[in-house]
Amino acid sequence: MIPDYQSIMLPLLKFAGDQQEHKNREAIEALADEFDLTEEEKKERLPSGNKIFTNRIGWAKTYLKKAGLLKATGRARFKITEKGLQVLEENPTQIDSKYLEQFPEFAGFMETSRPTREESRPEVPEEFEQKTPEELMKIGHEKLHKDLTLELLEIVKKCSPSFFEELVIDLLVRMGYGGSREDAGKAIGKSGDGGIDGIIKEDKLGLDIVYVQAKKWEGTISRPEVQKFAGALQGRRAKKGIFITTSTFSKGALEFVSKIDSKIVLMDGEQLAELMIENGIGVSKVASYEIKRVDSDYFINELAE
């Protein structure tokens, strides 16, 4: 299990206790061994692309530096300070944010990071205190994304069948199917032949076609409905189909499509909403945030000894 950044603080300070200058990479490798991380845990990443363990070590080092226990000595290099050595001599059982608040430099740093008005300081769950700022952004993004997915699906379920067909066209075209919007509009909703609602080009050149079943549905779609669609494909000697619904598919339906020769993709309501968000259908951007870091190369000559 990857330790939180506060659990890393004391081991990191002890690692630097030999009073030698260390590279960030040395600390990452040594602490990964100390915490007995698996190869998968070492490689696990945040949405930003940063490795989680490396990110947490970075924040642990930042907090220790703000408290004056570590200092930067060059590009991606650090060393323990006299104050850091004094802390190790006291042999603390744990170092976390509360422990570091005894140091004026750290207390000042934390004060500038907090809201100025007392009433604007919400209660922070204890588990959130163990997360780095990037991880908190990830949690917030996932919560907003999940809420949006559910809200979007509820709205789609209330739409008319004709609007749902238009929505499916917009989505498939945005995903690269159907050629032009006009071509796709003529294909979807016009067949109604044996469980097939439409035919759409697989690519802009029309080298192959995909048969589509697009239905608003209440309750779980069972195997017989999917078999009907598969039978319609066989009747046309077709090999590819997409079954799109606002509902869900039964286990039997999912198992059925995994065993037949025809390639049928089952897209349930949640997947539909996810793809709508991913492709910008029925949603608009409210805000975006960039995460930036210090460019060590810019300061390389100034920081070099």
Residue whose tokens read 């698996």? 38
Q: Which fold has domain 154-278?
A: Trna Endonuclease; Chain: A, domain 1 (3.40.1350)
Contact 158, 182 (CB under 8 A): no
Q: What is the CB neighbour count within 10 angstroms for residue 60?
A: 27
Split at pLDDT 50, 70, 90, the class of 179 is: low
In the predicted model, is pLDDT for residue 35 greater than 60? yes
What is the architecture, at CATH level 2, of domain 5-128? Orthogonal Bundle (1.10)
Report how far residue 286's alpha carbon sits from residue 270's, in angstroms, rounded to the nearest whole number. Answer: 22
Domain boundaries of the chain, sorted by first residue = 5-128, 154-278
Split at pLDDT 50, 70, 90, the class of 16 is: very high
In the predicted model, is pLDDT for residue 7 greater than 90? yes
How high is the pLDDT of residue 9?
95
Region of residue 206 (phi > 0: left; psi between -120 and 50: alpha; otherwise: beta): left
Average pLDDT, whole number, for the chain? 82
In the predicted model, is pLDDT for residue 69 greater than 90? yes
Q: Which of 97-101, 197-201, 207-211, 255-259 has the weakest average pLDDT?
A: 197-201
Report how far residue 13's alpha carbon sits from residue 5's, in angstroms, rounded to the nearest whole number. Answer: 13
- Greater confidence, 261 or 183? 261
**247 CB contacts (<8 Å, ≥6 apart)?**
217, 218, 219, 220, 221, 268, 269
Ordered DSSP codes for the chain = -PPPHHHHHHHHHHHGGG---EEHHHHHHHHHHHTT--HHHHH-B-TTS-BHHHHHHHHHHHHHHHTTSEEEEETTEEEE-HHHHHHHHT--S---HHHHTTSHHHHHHHHHTS-SSGGG-----HHHHTS-HHHHHHHHHHHHHHHHHHHHHHHHHHS-HHHHHHHHHHHHHHTT-SSSHHHHHHHEEEEEETTEEEEEESSTT-SSEEEEEEE--SSEE-HHHHHHHHHHHHHTT--EEEEEESSEE-HHHHHHHHHSSSEEEEE-HHHHHHHHHHTTSS-------------GGGGHHHH--
Query: Is 5-128's fold the same as 154-278's?
Result: no
Contact 231, 195 (CB under 8 A): yes
Instruction: Give the residue-averaged pLDDT of 204-223.
Output: 82
How high is the pLDDT of residue 215?
83
Percentage of residues of the chain with pLDDT beyond 90: 43
Q: Which of 58-72, 98-112, 202-216 has the weakest average pLDDT?
A: 202-216
Residue whose tokens read 């040395």? 26
Tell me the Cα Rg of the chain: 28
Report how far residue 21's alpha carbon sits from residue 304's, in angstroms, rounded to the nearest whole number. Answer: 12
How high is the pLDDT of residue 166?
82
Q: Measuring CA to CA, which residue among 255, 199, 196 is closest to residue 230?
A: 196
In the predicted model, is pLDDT for residue 128 greater than 60? no
| pTM (predicted TM-score) | 0.59
